[in-house]
């Protein structure tokens, strides 16, 4: 009992690797495509203890993955080879002391049902990250924007 509590607190203290990338869709992503990615991600990411978020708007893709460093890098390499997107560019990759997406197993959100000001913010963020010249972390505010967009997708319009 005592040792399992100790293990749990060690796991909480373990560093988490947070990776972000931007890319361009090679095809239109309909709700079926997102459902396919979400469904695959749910089981695989859970097995790997990876959490994250994915937002797509007008061909712009931004995804954040969090978990053990090697697991995240391996998954990113696999996703990079997926022909459904191109110009995949890693923009963030660093060890952090906590997750920003601890309860997000991998939510894929399409920004088309999101208010226009949030979509404009997303496009600006995507364009800024695409031009980034070196790896840097994503900020908590940037992650919040993605969460709000992902949540809007379930609002009926
Ligand atoms: C933009 C994008 C994001 C993806 N994110 C994930 C993900 O987080 N986890 C995952 O398992 N697959 C993700 N996939 C799907 C993988 O690329 C791949 O299809 C999946 O892991 C199944 O691999 P397999 O086709 O080799 O079986 C993503 C695909 C795309 C296009």
DSSP state of 113: G
- Rounded Cα distance between 38 and 121, Å, is 24
pTM: 0.89
Residue 157: which pLDDT band, with cuts at 50, 70 and 90? Answer: very low
Q: Which of 37, 66, 72, 74 to mutate to test the pocket of ligand 1 (most atoms within 8 A of CB)?
A: 37
* Two structure tokens written together for 2: 């005592």
Nearest-CA residue for ligand 1 atom 9 is 41
Give the helix ranges, DSSP H, for the chain: 2-13, 31-48, 69-80, 116-131, 140-152
CA 132 to ligand 1 center in whole angstroms: 24
pLDDT of residue 33: 85
Q: Is the CB of 82 under 6 A from ligand 1?
A: yes
Beta partners for 61?
Answer: 23, 56
Element (H, E) at 137: none
CATH of domain 14-152: 3.30.70.100
Beta partners for 18?
Answer: 66, 94
pLDDT of residue 12: 53
pLDDT of residue 11: 52
How does pLDDT run across 79-134, given as a tens digit for each residue?
Answer: 999 999 999 999 999 999 999 999 887 777 777 778 899 999 999 999 999 999 99
* Alpha carbon separation from 45 to 32, 38, 42, 52, 70 (Å, rounded): 19, 10, 6, 9, 13
């Amino acid at each position: 009992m005592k040792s399992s509590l100790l293990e749990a607190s060690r796991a909480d203290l373990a560093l988490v690797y947070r990776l972000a990338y931007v890319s361009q869709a090679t095809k239109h992503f309909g709700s079926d495509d997102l459902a396919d990615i979400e469904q695959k991600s749910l089981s695989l990411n859970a097995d790997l203890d990876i959490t994250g978020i994915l937002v797509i708007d007008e061909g712009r893709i931004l995804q954040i993955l969090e978990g053990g460093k090697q697991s995240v890098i391996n998954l990113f390499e696999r996703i990079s080879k997926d022909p459904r997107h191109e110009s995949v560019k890693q923009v963030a990759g660093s060890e952090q002391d906590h997750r920003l997406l601890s309860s997000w197993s991998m939510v894929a959100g399409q920004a088309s049902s999101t208010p226009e000001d949030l979509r404009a913010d997303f496009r600006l963020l995507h364009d800024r990250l695409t031009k980034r010249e070196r790896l840097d972390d994503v900020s908590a505010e940037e992650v919040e924007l993605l969460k709000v967009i992902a949540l809007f997708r379930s609002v009926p319009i």
